Structure 1
Amino acid sequence: MTLPRYVSTLLLCAGAVACDGSAGYNHHTGGGDDPDPPPPTLPGAVAPAPAKFSCDAKAVPADLPLPRLSRTQLMNSLRFAVGRALPKDADALWTKLAPDLARYPADRRTPAPGDLKGGFSRLDQSIQQTQIDVMYDLGKVVAQELTSTDTRRNTLLGACASDSQTANDRACLETFIRGWGSRVLRYPLPTQEVTAFADIAGTTPVDRASVADVITTVLNSPWFLYRIEHGTTAGQAAAPLSAFELASKLSYQLWQAPPDDALWAAATDGSLMTEDGFNTQLDRMMKSPQLRNSMDEFVNEWLRLDELPSLIALRNDPVYQAFVGAEMPTDATRTAMFEDVQLSAYNTIVSGGSVSDFLHDPKSYTADPFLAGIYGVPTWNGTGPAPVIPSKTRGGLVTRAAMLATGTASTRPIHKGYMVRNALLCQQVGAPPPNASDRPPAPTDRMTTRQAVSQLTSGGSCGGCHNNTINPPGFVLEGFDALGRERSVERLFNPQGKETAAPSVDTSADVLLYDSESRAISSAVDLSRMIDESQLFESCVAQHYFRFAHARVESTSGDGCLLSEMESVARSGAPMADLLKTVARHPTFKKRSFQ
């Protein structure tokens, strides 16, 4: 069953917290030009959790049999194909294609086994008939647009397509296939394949309809729709990738798109196969703005940002109106909340900050006036230093508005507690019982949110899990309302939107992280420190990024060596960028396993 954003009113634990962390703690090296000093540790700081992953050098990691391009990657590849064919018309043509592009089905985000929510769209490797049908239609539409006029056809094929000679028509078409087709299919087409594609045009190689048929076929080739890897050594269980296979793997990993000219050139001249050449390309790609193409998707899906409902759906509800106040947020504010988190991660990476720095990042990254007002900062234009949020009660990531807003007047502490456990600590919580309500506890005109949640979840079979695992992190975050604004009281309303009371907010809770590591805290800052000191967050980021990078759920045995290395990097205080580089530099990245 698909659970709503707030998970469920009742979550029945299958057992104790089940996610361990890692040892090897080196807290906060900072990064960038203006690194922030590490926050002071709590009295009786939480001890780093044990390492979650270990390396068995004899284990053989698995590979996806035939990696299908995700929807995002496929759309970027299609746009690349259009851009290489008709650079000057590409933007206008792409806009014209929008209705057909929208028909391609979205990938499904399937949670990992044992998780109730989450998952990455890259993990959807299913093949649907709808995908095949729509891609065929897209190939036809793109081909027809690229050849819609003699001028466009001539741009594709060159002057030989319109001269008075016919003897050179076949060679004209083959030159186009060898150039454009190789880049679109991401490997140098051998003569026999160029011939096979050209044969589709029959006896009229430069006829516009014939050229369109060739383009349609190229865009529906398995080499276009999948990331095919044969390796360079036949008959072995694990074979090194070719230069062009490696270029594609690296490009789709970091940019969600086909190799650019520089990466293609490095594959062509062989430099990509050398350690220095590979590192040169990796460093270049990590510094490119195109890195955001993958990082935004990773952060959005890891933290489930787009599960936040509309902030204006309840704009006519009297309680929501009274809660929000004079100025209603907009749909643009919701988008800005997502971008605030995404830009925090991206700027941490490009500035040299660590995973820990991302968790504690105190800056605001928004041009939206409403969100900037929540943070008490000026809007940011995207250049220069981002403004620092002045509040001393915010705790970095866990108190960004996207993590706190609910689209209602209620704060949903159950959802927030589950988010901390599952998305930030990689701890699993058992499924709710069959009779669990799908309506979250809400405050009344006389009862606070915390009181309503406690009344409904503290007893019976639900109490053990809610009291010890789910509710406490959510209660600590009650110092922020359902828009992410700081508060010391909770305003209660009757159904007509009249304020009936404003009791003080109770943010105290005993938070158990793992084993016996429990602390009585009362602020989001303390919660962030606990999470960081345990190093569970660092281990969890490594685990989530592995899934995103490999488009599959990890095997703790087969993938233990890479996971252990990623975990160590994340916990060491090294730049967060090194976590991404660790994946690309690992020996398994440059090989294809056929076991």
Structure 2
Amino acid sequence: MNTTLPSARRWLPLVFLSLPSLACQPEEGRDVSTRPGPGSGSGGGASVIVDGNELTPLPARIRRLTNAEYNASVQALLGTSATPADDFPPDARQHGFTVNEAQRVDPVLARALDGSAQALAQEARPEFPRLAPCADTASGGEACAASFIESFATRAYRRPLTDEDRTSLLTLYRAGAEGATYEDGIELLIRGILQSPGFLYLTEIGDGSPGPIVSLTPSEIAASLSYIITGGPPDDALIQAAADGLLDTPEGREAEARRLFATEAGRARTVRVVREWLGIDRITATSKDANVYPEFAGARDAMARETDAFVREVLATTPGGVEDLLGSPWTVVDAHLAGLYGLGGEGRVDSPDRIGLLNQGAFLSVHAHAHETAPVLRGVALLRRVACFDIELPTNLSLQIVPPVPDPTKTTRERFSIHAQDPGCANCHRLIDPLGFSFEHFDGMGVYREREGDAPVDSTMTITLGKDFDGSYADSNELAAALATSEAVRECFARQLFRSAAGEGQNSKPYEDSFQVLWSALPPDAQGVLVENLITYAKSPLFSLRGAP
């Protein structure tokens, strides 16, 4: 068996994407028209009129799979349980989300992708009788390879193959099989396909129709819908729905979206979105000073499991809205975490002093320092992630960050109150710090405390943001209860969910504002519900149309 393939290992072609041309048709059941816009670049700023509202679709583009999407994709293709992307460089983030246009393949990632593809292809060799069956490899190997290319590469690229695809992939097979074996050729094929743009990138470039707006192809719609909801490639049912034209209509996309949300992959992806929204997906990479928080290392994984179990329970037993995520007076813990929290029992237990995700260990630990609490980090997390209130970075304002001087005779709140005395800091910190101070009853790993050193903890605060949750609160529990029922927070939650799905990055406001028009038409009791927000996007023309490339 030749596992190094010396004659071909340096020649892995780029299988460039091309898409069939399909007629651009308005969606059934809606009043949709287009008009060119004043913008420039991809998409040209073109708008679409939907039921009398002028909306701006995302620009045509391609984006790289995230690490989690890569894992899900190779698992679906090869039937492996491997998670090679866990060892890749971390994903770039925009607005805190890993699905975004900033993902690139730099030299470090390129080497990791090559190593992953080589290992996966070699691991798959025992499965070749299933993946690439061939009764007569001596005389019929090339015909078998062509059949394998048609089935495997079509699934890998998530679209029909072009003649150019077939030719380049068959050439790659020949390079691997020449002077070797059929299996060597298939191995090199898999290795090449797993490094090709067709596999690594999702396309949203449309059907090539003229005009300022293009429709995504059925294959693009299926792929986008699947990755947004399940974090992985389309299953057979979704592929068939695309082939049957069912995804051309809002009703068809909604039906498939609801089906996908009900799958295990859909639930897992939903948990990931919530974790990224609040930044708590970083809990497993968070570390603490063992001299200050000796119990953290043993509790960290339990905190991650708590978040996962809590979100899943919210989805299973409540409408699944931001009110439930931020305001539920219960949690789901194991015995170890229950002991740290001072709760009676394990599993789903009442936690009236720890309302919702914001008062759980994962959020409190991630948004804290290694050796102490961090009112600024916790306050900024609420402002940006929960209230969609932008705060400038000090470096953008030419301000030098000077942490408060350590002083064991003062509480953290007393030390950080110095911000209010500095004219250069006060404008921002009068908004940030009160929110952070509300969490001071929880230490840097989220354990409740009444005292810090010899002094009592003061978690009272008053916030004035011009939002409907402005007011005075005794602590983070009271604040969380107010945030959970806030209309401003519901609107921000919808904006964040759109960001998690659209992945447009730092220049996304025109597209977010267009989605908010659709969101505002939802019944009030659905506006804060995660699934309903994403389905509203999926069934809208904003999902299936793009500004022309």
Structure 1 and Structure 2 fold alike (TM over 0.5): yes
Question: How far has the Cα of 1:418 moved from its partner?
Answer: 1.9
SS of 1:387's partner is strand
Aligned match of 2:514: 561
- Within 5 A, what are the aligned runs for 1:14-93? 57-63=53-59, 65-83=61-79, 90-91=80-81
Q: For 2:298 and 2:136, how far apart are their aligned partners in 1?
A: 48
Q: For 2:55 and 2:485, how far apart are their aligned partners in 1?
A: 31
Aligned match of 1:341: 307
Q: Is contact 1:255-1:291 (8 Å) kept?
A: yes
Distance 1:394 1:513, change over 3 A: farther
Question: How far has the Cα of 1:190 moved from its partner?
Answer: 4.9
Aligned match of 1:253: 228
Q: For 1:59 and 1:312, how far apart are their aligned partners in 2?
A: 44
SS of 2:482's partner is helix
Question: How far has the Cα of 1:516 moved from its partner?
Answer: 9.5
Q: For 2:55 and 2:285, how far apart are their aligned partners in 1?
A: 46
Corresponding position: 1:477 with 2:439 = yes
Distance 1:61 1:332, change over 3 A: farther
Task: Give the gaps of 5 or more residues in structure 2.
Answer: 1-49
TM-score between the two structures when normalised by the length of structure 1: 0.73
Distance 1:212 1:583, change over 3 A: same
1:471-527 alpha-carbon deviations (Å, 9 max, x no partner): 21222222333332333x3141xxxxxxxx2x3222222221317974232232331
Aligned match of 1:422: 384
Residue number among 440, 446, 456 corresponding to 1:504 in the alignment: 456
- Within 5 A, what are the aligned runs for 1:459-474? 459-462=421-424, 464-465=426-427, 468-474=430-436
- Within 5 A, what are the aligned runs for 1:127-138? 127-138=105-116
Aligned match of 1:394: 354
Aligned match of 1:410: 372
- Greater relative contact order, per chain length (Cα 8 Å cut-off, separation 6+): 1
Structure that is richer in strand per residue: 2
Corresponding position: 1:357 with 2:324 = yes
Q: For 2:92 and 2:468, how far apart are their aligned partners in 1?
A: 38
Corresponding position: 1:519 with 2:471 = yes
Residue number among 157, 174, 178 corresponding to 2:146 in the alignment: 174
SS of 2:509's partner is coil
Residue number among 146, 163, 166 corresponding to 2:124 in the alignment: 146
Residue number among 482, 503, 506 corresponding to 1:551 in the alignment: 503
SS of 2:350's partner is coil
Question: How far has the Cα of 1:441 moved from its partner?
Answer: 5.7
Q: For 2:236 and 2:468, how far apart are their aligned partners in 1?
A: 54
Aligned match of 2:334: 367
1:317-341 alpha-carbon deviations (Å, 9 max, x no partner): 3xx2xxx6xxx42435223323433
Residue number among 260, 282, 304 corresponding to 1:285 in the alignment: 260
Q: For 1:307 and 1:74, how far apart are their aligned partners in 2?
A: 19
TM-score between the two structures when normalised by the length of structure 2: 0.79
SS of 1:173's partner is helix
Q: Percent identity?
A: 22
Question: How far has the Cα of 1:584 moved from its partner?
Answer: 1.0
Corresponding position: 1:590 with 2:536 = no
Q: Is contact 1:109-1:121 (8 Å) kept?
A: yes
Question: How far has the Cα of 1:192 moved from its partner?
Answer: 6.0
SS of 2:376's partner is helix
Number of matched pairs:
490
1:56-82 alpha-carbon deviations (Å, 9 max, x no partner): 933433325222222221232122222
Q: Is contact 2:498-2:512 (8 Å) kept?
A: no
- Within 5 A, what are the aligned runs for 1:313-328? 313-315=288-290, 317=291, 320=292, 328=294
Task: Give the gaps of 5 or more residues in structure 1.
Answer: 1-53, 84-89, 112-117, 381-385, 493-500
